[in-house]
A and B are shown apart, each in its own frame.
Chain A
Amino acid sequence: VTLRFLDPTSTVQVTPIQSFPVGALTGVRVALIDNSKENADYLLGVVGQHLVDRWGVELVTHKKRVASEPLAADKFDEIARTCSLVLTGLGD
């Protein structure tokens, strides 16, 4: 005797996002979001400097109070308004 065991995982709907053409990085403003974990500032600093050297981007840095907290909504709005690209670093 068998039974039907319903799948408990439900479905996922994925919304594709548009990729950013690398060639368009020249001169854009890039936000670096430091999650405040150990070495996140170092990692982002190295990557950010590379972007400056390679593409001449302008950097804006934000540091979170604690890693597990989302960035404040007003900061998101500010970044969306003023930046073309965001890099966030996970430290430790």
Chain B
Amino acid sequence: MTSSAAVSDPFWEVEDSPEAWMELVESKGIGDGLPIVPPTPARLERWLASIDRDGDEVLGTVPPRWGQLTIKALAINAIMAGGTPEMLPVLIAAFEAMLHDEFNLFTIQVTTNPVTPLLLVTGPVAAELGMNSGPGYLGPGNRANATIGRAVRLTMMNVGGAHPGTTDRATGGHPGKYTLAFAENEGDSPWESFPRSQGQQAESTVTALGAVSVFNHYDSVSSSAEDMLTNMAETLTARGTNFMQMGGNVMILLCPEHARTLSRHGLSREQIQQELYQRAQAPVEKFPASLMEAVRWRRKRFPAVFDDNSVRALDEPAAALIAVAGGPGKHTVVVFSLSSTHHVIQPIGLPVT
């Protein structure tokens, strides 16, 4: 089924020049500050013709404005982002994930925390779209990575109504709020894919995670798993993170070289989680009393966090979400999340016609 861009769809008549498009975007408050591609009825027609779904189908409502997320609205924002129609199934799956209650999109949209959806694409769809899972996967330079994340952000702003300084109350925000999407490097991973390890069997998936900070963990020295895990555990215990103070999940995007070192020493993903759980502890005496009181309240669901007169970084071993991404080099990326948002893995199941 195809759905045409009805002539009744609201639009603005604008002079056909990049300067005029940008003036319009700025005056209407519908952009992210970067240049856009104008979403014309003809472009929307091409997008909707690529998918066997009704353009008026409502996927849900996006907080805090509770705008109706139709496939059409998603496509319009994705056109503005510079995407291609082949991305539409990934974008639909991304919002299906983000609209799950446990993802807690409302909080992500309005909090003072600098939190944004991180989108990890796994499976053959990633290669079909030309997504980058290797060197420089966090950017810049890859159109699919850049525009998938940007399409999601523009939709969050335009349909969800979260604009910085208004209902998006982020104190500072962060660069990932422009775009944060990439593919899992399955080819260089010694283990099964991240979604498989979480019990998700679908061929292609998108994982949505509420990402607070994207932190580089540098280790060019360790040649043993022992040293590598000791160093990595230390990175997880920084006292000033939401993660350490409130718990929740952390995504560890192991670079292939770090993953190979750990695997070569016989460690499975589950053993790495267990090792990090045991090792990542900060002594209670390093916490000022007022902070310790707050941490005890916020993390009370997991009493073992406070074993050994210490504070564990991980609520439980499974709180470390381990995937492989990146190219050559000794840089693993640690993505701290919020305790009030939980990652969601969504199958990408829609055929591109």
Contact = CB atoms under 8 A, between A and B. Distances in A.
Nearest to B30: A8
B15 interface: yes
B209 interface: no
Interface string A1-36: 111111111111100000000000000000000001
A65 B298 contact: yes
B21 A5 contact: yes
A10 B15 contact: no
Interface stretch (A39-47, A54-62, A66-74): A66-74
A5 B24 contact: yes
Interface in B249-302: 297-298, 300-301
Given A9-B30, A69-B104, A70-B104, A3 B340 contact: no
B301 A65 contact: yes
Interface stretch (B65-73, B120-128, B138-146, B174-182): B65-73
Contacts of A65: 297-298, 300-301
Contacts of B159: 8-10
Contacts of A69: 104, 107, 339-340
Interface string B313-335: 00000000000000000000000
A2 B16 contact: yes
A8 B113 contact: no
B218 to A, nearest CB: 30
B158 A36 contact: no
Interface stretch (B39-47, B196-204, B220-228, B229-237): B39-47
A8 B47 CA distance: 14
A33 to B, nearest CB: 15
Contact of B246 (A10, A13, A66): A66
Interface in A54-92: 65-66, 68-70
B38 interface: yes
Contacts of B21: 5
Interface string B158-197: 1101000000000000000000000000000000000000
Contacts of B40: 3-6
Contacts of B77: 8
Nearest to A38: B294
B66 A12 contact: yes
B339 A9 contact: no
Nearest to A10: B73
A8 B154 contact: yes
Interface string B7-37: 0011111111000010010000010000000
A8 B25 CA distance: 10
B118 interface: no
Nearest to A70: B104
Contact of B15 (A1, A9, A12): A1
A11 B161 CA distance: 11
A13 B67 CA distance: 7
- Top 7 nearest A-B pairs (CB, nearest first) are A69-B340, A10-B73, A68-B340, A7-B10, A68-B107, A8-B158, A4-B11
24 contacts: A3-B14, A4-B12, A5-B13, A5-B14, A5-B38, A5-B40, A6-B11, A6-B76, A7-B9, A7-B10, A7-B11, A7-B30, A10-B67, A10-B70, A11-B67, A12-B65, A12-B68, A13-B61, A13-B68, A65-B298, A65-B301, A68-B338, A69-B107, A70-B101
Given A10-B67, A10-B159, A65-B297, 10 more contacts: A2-B16, A3-B38, A4-B12, A5-B11, A5-B38, A8-B39, A13-B68, A65-B300, A70-B101, A70-B340
